[in-house]
A and B are shown apart, each in its own frame.
Chain A
């Protein structure tokens, strides 16, 4: 198992380099002059050239690229063009909020999606099945900002169950959780949709498999057959779908943070965009790339845990 984990981590390195390259190129092909942003349009040509030299963007692109990779490798994301603060500090400050939100969404997605999908498969075309279908349809068809606004209107404005603005004012755990509920639910709905869908179809298939018949031939009751024999096998596609949609989840987390005015990567991205802070933008993309690649590695490792055939390969 340890060797398997090590192998996955090593395999992630080329992917990471490729993604970093794309980020580097992207930031450099976006139109717009960063010196304009910093110095305004009144500055002289000389001042601009000085700033370029200071920022290092006058050097040959290859040198800049090597420099960039070297910096990332040492954990340095550079400084913000707008505030001159180290980007890593800014990111480290808000990252826990985004991670918290994403994890909460996964927990909600699995905790609701798996039982709902199982129930739907067991009583095909029954009430639970119709409910599951509606939930998964709603979950995937509502953009995160639309469902977020709807949730806000109903639960925060009308019912006043949760705060409208979910920035925790105190650091108490209760407050922090209270402010997490609505955003997490908003994001979780998407995960519920995906997980329900894959669980339902996976269970329908698994319940028709020969090994389920074998379990029943051993005298196993319906519950054991479903939760032990069938669901264990469906964990494999469930892990796949969670891993696959983690990227989409992070994207929607950003939207959700904006709608709920919650601190996190989302707000930082908006700031970076508004201020044309290319350095910050680049740093955020690097962080996002790391996040997604890490999520993929975790997904692979989880495969190894739920499917004994994987580590053997």
Chain B
């Protein structure tokens, strides 16, 4: 295990150790997530960042046990949610965990809600399932939850359908739904990417507020380093299925160490610098073309001969809470 520093005094609610997830591409199983380890404690937000296709969603779905069996599987590692081993658990036990101890919200509020069921029913459903509530009690609780996520005139809109809500309101409904059973762990897969900038900020603020209130552990998946800087405690940078950098958010922005992280930061638009945006040259190789050794080697300006071997994720000597997977930068 890495020397992950738990900043709060609470025990980690989500522990991922050596998670390897394989998916089937053209008949062959390939590792799309490789030996990922991290922990998230109560009240802590860990951000997972990286370009499209680097394995962020697969990591999240692995934790939830939602990989489609024919396409993906957890091939190694341990995932513990609130003390329950999600990999060893039966599908029935995982079902009992989902929506109760661990919940997830998705990127697309437009398509993630069922168009033919009322939002009141969709929020109350988890309460009926996990809390044995009657339909009526669940509906009453759903109204409270809608009020909690500040959907205006919740009582009047409880029997409305998703198409009657705006994108931002739908995402609030998703949050109400995810938090219905007061889970300990929340996984948010790009919860604000599909929203306008102002709505994004509101939704993030709401999540932070709810987190403080109930002590949630949040795993936040995002493309947006600005979001990371404002809400995360720790950041994991993924590239080609590998965690390439794992650091407290302050040291990450002070000393981005992996060449890929540097590239990401240079490609990030900033208000305070007049400097040009520099895109990282090249693109992420597809899984079948993924090189052995360091997966970033084809795009890395610092590449040395040794980079054809896979570097370990190693703590920096100056800051052991800050880990980097790079032959050149880790020393």
List residues of chain A with CB under 8 Å of any chain B CB: 209-211, 213-221, 228-229, 232-233, 235-236, 306-309, 312
Contacts and interface: CB of A to CB of B under 8 A. Distances in A.
B129 interface: yes
A101 to B, nearest CB: 32
Nearest to A206: B114
B31 interface: no
A216 B108 CA distance: 16
A54 to B, nearest CB: 59
B275 to A, nearest CB: 38
Contact of B98 (A211, A216, A235, A309): A216
A47 to B, nearest CB: 66
Find the residue from A214, A216, A308 having the highest chain B CB count within 10 A. A214
Interface string B113-132: 11111000000011001100
A176 B111 CA distance: 49
B163 A211 contact: no
A236 to B, nearest CB: 8
Contact of B116 (A214, A216, A219, A307): A307
Nearest to B95: A219
B230 to A, nearest CB: 26
Interface string B64-79: 1010000000000000
A308 B111 CA distance: 15
Nearest to B126: A218
Interface of B: 64, 66, 95-100, 103-104, 106, 108, 111-117, 125-126, 129-130, 161, 163-164, 174, 177-178
A228 B118 CA distance: 12
B116 A215 contact: no
Nearest to A211: B114
A219 B94 CA distance: 8
Contacts of B96: 219
A217 B116 contact: no
A309 B178 CA distance: 24
Given A214-B106, A217-B66, A220-B125, A308 B161 contact: yes
A229 B112 contact: no
Decide if the interface of chain A is mainly helix, strand, loop or mixed. helix
B181 to A, nearest CB: 9
B163 A309 contact: yes
Contact of B99 (A218, A236, A312): A218
Contact of B95 (A221, A229, A307, A309): A221
A71 to B, nearest CB: 44
Given A219-B129, A220-B125, A312-B164, A214 B113 contact: yes
A218 B95 CA distance: 8
A312 B161 CA distance: 10
Given A219-B126, A308-B163, A312-B164, A214 B97 contact: no
Contacts of B117: 228-229, 232
B66 to A, nearest CB: 6
Contact of A214 (B95, B114, B129, B164): B114
Contacts of A213: 66, 106, 112
A210 B174 CA distance: 12
B91 to A, nearest CB: 9
A210 B97 contact: no
Contacts of B130: 219
Contact of B114 (A221, A232, A236, A306): A232
Given A217-B99, A217-B178, A218-B99, 8 more contacts: A211-B111, A216-B66, A217-B103, A217-B106, A220-B125, A220-B129, A236-B116, A309-B115
A211 B66 contact: no
Nearest to A213: B66
B112 A211 contact: yes
Nearest to A221: B95
Nearest to B65: A216
A306 B98 contact: no
Contacts of A312: 163-164
Contacts of A307: 115-116
Contacts of B174: 214
A107 B129 CA distance: 32
Contacts of A308: 115-116, 161, 163
A37 B115 CA distance: 60
Given A217-B66, A312-B164, A209 B99 contact: no
A229 B117 CA distance: 8
Given A219-B96, A219-B98, A220-B125, A210 B116 contact: no
